[in-house]
Amino acid sequence: MATAYCVKCRKKVEIKDPKQVTLKNKRPAVQGVCPSCGTKVFRIGKA
């Protein structure tokens, strides 16, 4: 499972409902939701 930093919780969390996205500069990223607070979390570079 991919992890990302949640700004609201101030800790690393496992991404809930992760989905692959591609940035404008063609870099891969993972976007999802924090399991504890529901805030969007984002991780660049995980293919």
CA distance 32 to 42: 6
> What are the helix and strand counts (H, E) for the chain?
0, 5
Contact between 25 and 34 (Cβ < 8 Å)? no
Which of 35, 27, 25 lies closest to 3 in space, CA to CA? 35
The per-residue pLDDT for 47 is 59
Q: Is the pLDDT of residue 46 over 90?
A: no
Share of the chain above pLDDT 70, in %: 96
pLDDT at position 1 is 78
Mean pLDDT of the region 10-39? 96
- Contacts of range 27-30, beta carbons closer than 8 Å, 24 or more positions apart: 30/2, 30/4
Average pLDDT in the chain: 94
Q: Which two tokens stand for residue 2?
A: 């991919």
